[in-house]
Amino acid sequence: MLKMYIGGRWVSAVSGRTRSITNPATGEQIDVAAEGGAEDARLAIAAARKAFDESDWPHTSARHRARLLFRLADLIERHAGEQARMETENNGKPLADAEDDVLTAANVFRYYAGLIGKPSGQVSDLPGSYVGRVVREPIGVCGLIVPWNFPLMMASWKLAPCLAAGNTCVFKPAELTPVTAVRLFELMEEAGFPPGVANLLLGEGRTAGAELAAHEQVDKIAFTGGTETGRGVMRAAAGNIKKLSLELGGKSANIVFADADLDIAADYAVSGIFLNAGQVCSAGSRLLVEESVYDRFVDMVVERARKIRVGNGLHPGVEMGPLISEAHMNKVLGYIKAGIEEGAVLLTGGKRITEGELARGFFVEPTVFGDVHSGMRIFREEIFGPVLSVTKFRDEEDAVRLANDSIYGLAGAVFTSDAGKAERVARRVRVGVFWINVYHPAMVEMPWGGYKQSGLGRELGTFGLDAFTEVKQIVHNLHPGPLGYYHWNRS
């Protein structure tokens, strides 16, 4: 049974409730997890609060915290094969993708271990005998909430900078995918993180997560998930004006001009949407194609989509796995139905896969819609599945207009052989992450986050560490003397 880790102890839920954890490729139970609730959240928060307020953790040297993070990174790599298999069984993604995620997680912990040893802050000579310093300090108790699409990698994105900065935390994975989070906390315990510094809370967002977001002893919430849930987190955090980092939804535009290398652009267009079965916040779900090459390019994309090997992620050669759950699969199928009803042309896919052993899982065919216009739901709403909407554009101005016609602003891309055009489009599309002649790379050294309703703040890079710190100014009077302001000081 998967237990929670609170105050340095492995515990069941106070209520005794549990949840069955299933493999979305087979529908089979792979484990049972403790189902924490509001009371468990309060216990975890109290443990984190005590560790921050009463232990030496916030005041330990950067070198000491770095040693622990480096040790954890080494342990993750040592057990990489085991964790990758766990991730695939719980999430469904192809094993090769899970292996990349595990190594990325280790790299993130190692990056922040190195970063906190670098010089930081500012020093200023001020008027008179004053010297000013600007320093960064930990915020306090942080609630970290991650989604089910990249369970281990998203955990590293939040835990690494949070702990590197000297905070304590309560970490809550998605209730559907707790397996690698539990294993990660076992490795953290082995690495030597003090009790209460990092606490693992299992359970639903509407109970355990809601308590974490609202509790007045929590100083910051870092949340990755849907935009509507993010609004709820913002409302809950208003009680004590928590610091917030929100990485929310996306409906990213991938723009292909006629002068692009179409073979290369087609490969990226396919991986841009069908990676992780489209369950990626930055997925290139809106493909915008210049009208002069529209028909030819769409044929190239459809041909590639039909060749994708769909199946159980543990099987060799599989390139796309299942959706995370039956409920989510039905939601995606509902969007496909809406696309057909609104007049988009279904070019390939569109159905649940029900042949052979795949009938036991939650598989949807790679789906491509053509002739999509901006009024359709499949153009405007985040589907979070293997569904690509293709829209034609006339010229550069039209492409930028369509790309920006969204409430979201997480990511985007352009494919063109004209460097000037690429730079113009990159500047004008209002997103936090933009790629030129490539799609999907996310690097720990670079900031990640979005404009508009795609969230607040940035993760990764130096920005990710800054997001877990408070900024303080300290002014030192080197030559104190009489103030001279009040009448008794005046000569």
Rounded to an integer, what distance in angstroms lies between the CA atom of residue 384 and that of residue 250?
Answer: 9
Rounded to an integer, what distance in angstroms lies between the CA atom of residue 82 and that of residue 183?
Answer: 10
Give me the phi and psi of 474, to 5 degrees please: -125, 125
For residues 397 and 414, the answer to whether their CB atoms sit within 8 Å is no
281 is catalytic: yes
169 is catalytic: no
CB burial readout 392-427, b (16+ within 10 A) else e: bbeebeebbebbbebebbbbbbbbbeeeebbeebee
Q: Kindly tell me the burial class for residue 88, based on how many C-beta atoms sit within 10 Å of its own C-beta (0-12, 13-18, 19 or more).
A: buried
| The amino acid at 113 | A
35, 211, 247, 459: which is the annotated catalytic residue? 247
169, 281, 290, 459: which is the annotated catalytic residue? 281
Euclidean distance between the first and final Cα of the chain, in Å? 78
For residues 312 and 361, the answer to whether their CB atoms sit within 8 Å is yes
Q: Single out the residue of 163, 279, 168, 165 nearest to residue 226, CA to CA.
A: 279
106 contact partners, CB below 8 Å, separation of at least 6:
73, 74, 76, 77, 80, 156
Q: Which residues are catalytic?
A: 247, 281
